[in-house]
């Protein structure tokens, strides 16, 4: 490991395994927060595969109430396991909200549960969230961003990191640096930048080169995110952003071996035969935690993403897409009539 991103890019061997890269950074790979997709169950199985250094939870929405602990532990049950997934990978809990006082009070309550860190969401594009002045819309209000980050930083014990995740902007990228400087100036220890504006949504491309300006201007680690689907994408992102710290979202869901592949270029991909038991374990967790009528949908949602990487997933998806009964789905996919009990 080498030191955090700061100052101009350094020449030298790449911490993630490439040879010609120039960026500085720690070479860490984070698993992205994805509300409705990448929850504690999928974090559990994806972190078993390896290659992920840290996760960020889906957002916990803060309004004007002090959340009961059970809200924090429902979204981040890893808090009951020392803040780690069963595979031992730390999980940072993410808060979303716009009132500095409420955010600070809730962050202090969350901090008492011992998360690895607290992340603040300044990237959510959802209309219902933005309408209530949360998520990406705050990127038009850097002063408020500074108030939120500062209030949370002061409310949380110094040993608990506070990071922030942002997009390039709301409607355009003209204030990216201003927002990043507001976050760091108010005490954020690390920034994750999803290299698109809210207006860009999830439409490719991601503008990785725009992250480089922030990376060069701040003295905390900057993590590049967005549209990394392959090890080759990761290499291009590293070169353009100047960051060797990456966050992977949909790419890890589509290819659970992606983080390992980024670390060891040329390594064999994770075989389908190794994925099936992981899917079976995931379905067992879903069976335990999710209402029966939504269970098949959760497995098919993952299978849908896997189609991008695995032809076997495409075949399986076509075969099971109309099945809604969990037992029937388990039989069709795993050849087992009953859903395996969660470990
Ligand atoms: C279904 C879905 C849910 C998401 N939920 C969150 C969230 O709760 N918090 C957050 O900061 N970002 C969220 N994101 C954004 C991702 O963390 C990530 O920034 C984005 O997907 C780009 O990375 P990727 O191309 O590797 O997927 C979500 C994205 C998706 C597709």
What are the per-10-residue average pLDDT scores of the chain (343 residues)? 28 41 75 98 98 98 96 98 98 97 98 98 90 90 97 98 98 98 98 97 98 98 98 98 98 98 90 96 96 97 98 98 96 82 64
Q: Which residues are catalytic?
A: 124
> What is the residue with the minimal CA distance to atom 29 of ligand 1?
34
> What is the residue with the minimal CA distance to atom 19 of ligand 1?
194
> What is the residue with the minimal CA distance to atom 21 of ligand 1?
249
Index of the ligand 1 atom closest to the CA of residue 37: 1
At 131 the pLDDT is 84
Q: Which of 30, 33, 61, 202 to mutate to test the pocket of ligand 1 (most atoms within 8 A of CB)?
A: 33
Q: Which residues touch 278 (CB under 8 Å, ≥6 apart)?
A: 45, 48, 49, 256
How many other CB atoms sit within 10 Å of the CB of residue 129? 20
Q: Is 228 in the pocket of ligand 1 (CB under 6 A)?
A: yes
Task: Provide the CB-side half-sphere exposure for 45 (13 A, CA).
Answer: 26
At 337 the pLDDT is 67
My answer on whether omega of the bond before 205 falls inside 30° of 0, hence cis, is: yes
Q: Taking a C-beta distance cutoff of 8 angstroms, is the pair 255, 267 a contact?
A: no
Q: Which residues touch 184 (CB under 8 Å, ≥6 apart)?
A: 191, 218, 219, 220
Distance between Cα 123 and ligand 1 center (Å): 9
Q: Taking a C-beta distance cutoff of 8 angstroms, is the pair 299, 329 a contact?
A: yes
Q: Which residues touch 272 (CB under 8 Å, ≥6 apart)?
A: 310, 312, 313
At 129 the pLDDT is 87
At 340 the pLDDT is 67
How far is C-alpha 76 from the chain's CA centre? Answer: 13
Q: Which of 30, 34, 247 to mutate to test the pocket of ligand 1 (most atoms within 8 A of CB)?
A: 34
Give the helix ranges, DSSP H, for 77-230. 100-111, 127-131, 142-155, 176-185, 209-217
> What is the residue with the minimal CA distance to atom 10 of ligand 1?
33
> What is the residue with the minimal CA distance to atom 5 of ligand 1?
34
Distance between Cα 184 and ligand 1 center (Å): 22
At 1 the pLDDT is 27
Rounded to two decimals, the pTM is 0.93
Q: Is 36 in the pocket of ligand 1 (CB under 6 A)?
A: yes
């Amino acid at each position: 490991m080498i030191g955090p991103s700061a100052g101009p890019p350094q020449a030298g061997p790449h911490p993630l395994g490439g040879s010609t890269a120039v960026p500085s950074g720690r070479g860490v790979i984070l698993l992205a927060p994805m509300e409705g997709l990448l929850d504690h169950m999928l974090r559990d199985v994806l972190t078993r595969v390896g290659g992920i250094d840290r996760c960020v939870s889906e957002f916990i929405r803060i309004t004007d109430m002090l959340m009961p602990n059970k809200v924090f532990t429902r979204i981040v049950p890893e808090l009951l396991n020392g803040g780690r997934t069963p595979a031992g990978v730390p999980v940072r809990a993410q808060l979303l909200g716009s009132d500095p006082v409420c955010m600070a009070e809730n962050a202090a309550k969350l901090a008492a549960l011992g998360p690895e860190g607290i992340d603040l969401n300044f990237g959510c594009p959802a209309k219902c969230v933005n309408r209530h002045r949360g998520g990406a819309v705050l990127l038009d209000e850097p002063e408020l961003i500074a108030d939120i980050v500062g209030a949370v930083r002061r409310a949380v014990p110094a040993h608990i990191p506070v990071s922030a995740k942002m997009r390039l902007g709301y409607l355009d990228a003209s204030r990216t640096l201003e927002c990043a400087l507001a976050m760091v100036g108010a005490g954020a220890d690390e920034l994750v930048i999803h290299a698109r504006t809210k207006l860009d949504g999830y439409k490719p491309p991601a503008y990785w080169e725009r992250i480089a300006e922030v990376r060069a201007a701040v003295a905390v680690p900057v993590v590049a995110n967005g549209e990394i689907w392959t090890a080759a994408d990761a290499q291009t992102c590293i070169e353009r952003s100047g960051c060797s710290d990456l966050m992977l979202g949909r790419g890890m869901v589509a290819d659970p071996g992606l983080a390992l592949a980024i670390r060891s270029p040329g390594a064999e991909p994770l075989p389908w035969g190794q994925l099936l038991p992981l899917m079976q374990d995931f379905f067992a967790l879903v069976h335990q935690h999710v209402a029966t009528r939504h269970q098949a949908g959760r497995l098919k949602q993952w299978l849908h993403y896997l189609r991008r990487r695995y032809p076997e997933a495409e075949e399986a998806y076509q075969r099971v897409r109309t099945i809604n009964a969990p037992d029937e789905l388990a039989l069709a996919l795993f050849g087992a009539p009953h859903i395996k009990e969660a470990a």
